[in-house]
Chain A
């Protein structure tokens, strides 16, 4: 009874498979072997009682590789990803460790060949066929945007996001919600004051060498939300940097981003020194100061001081400063 019930179930399974019409041949093979195993076990359980009424068991027959033509269509033998079948792959493969100075084991019944993922369904012919079918769904890249420079000019905002594919209990990955937004500040419409204010607002997120502002958003649970938040931040930064608040008039020399030589202690010192050197007392002081400022050596001195203060101090900068001082003081 049990055997009859189970056999009915298995045959039912097979009709179900063929009925829907998309199962692979491999599954039919597994059902067939399950059927034979079941009948053989029941024979043993009954002590050979049912052997007289049963059909004689068929042997495995010759492997399919013998019947394969050389110019067959391989894509129909392995149309989808399936485990390795030794009697369906006409290659003399050997895999495994050669034990006791022997040779690697043959492919028949070789578990190593079954365990490793095979790419027999992705031969170049199969890839070509798949790509031919996929071609109509692709679109072409606009030919006007062939260089990176043009892309940067017309599309300066870059949005970077990551997708993750892996096997596990869940297909979700919490790191997939992170969005990086990169913009070059030179592509935004900012004047001098707005740019300086933007740099102060943004702080570490700006890279001076590449002039790229990076906004990384990961506080929202979804990627779309993080993207919207990043765009919102950019908008707010832009408009706030154009705003001129009343308290910005109190900006002191210490708040300045760059060193400017005009009206600095260095200018005052050099002019006082020069006046005292050339203490002839002719004309007014203001005129004399202007005259001195127009002189070549003084201008060179100004350049050297500015480079020293704004850039990294290096050998060449220090030497330049030394030369300028010598020329100004005529030493």
Chain B
């Protein structure tokens, strides 16, 4: 894991103390600074919560937004991971769900690229996320600053596409990564594309309390296509943190560089397969935001 190349910050403490930014400092004046004797609990639906309370909720919202963003971007070379939640507010209605505004920073999923791109290169995102109790598919509105130049991203996507097309079929994959955490560079494109497809699944399944990580790919199968698209089936194991459960999902995706991603999936806990297409209207368009 790459160390963060910034001046050493104060380490993060419990929910009362996300690392302060100037904006956040203002909010913190309203909230108790010393930790954590539990949440301040107020649940008046009309009032925003203090930043002090639901660090976990802000993180959930950031995660959901980021999965959605990755899916919408449809670019396996431009995947992002959560760096840090910076500020946010939440409106909680215990009967219905909650609405969360959150600002967070991201970094590239590919660790190597941190060295190429220059130090401390972080993207910034702001999102509004609405979780509905007992319902999947949080509604997401997210915008992020551009992290990678569009042309470079297209080049890398196309390179990945070529690598996928050159793979010999049938692919004899046991698991990616292997049990020791190693991913063969030859197999890396498969993993990145699988992560992209899994982002769709993880977006849909993230709630106020559940969140997921892609643990392992356990089978891969690529189909020949008539139209040059990448078409493949794979089985992933998702790790849900609050219950610690491992959830096998079967995912089928179709991809072509620059085109929206098409995903179908079926996870063991859900009984019905889900279908999705990237042609729905969405708002996850990377733009330059001058105030960041």
Do A and B actually bind?
A: no
What is B's interface to A at a CB cutoff of 8 Å?
A: none
* Interfacial residues, chain A to chain B (CB-CB below 8 A): none
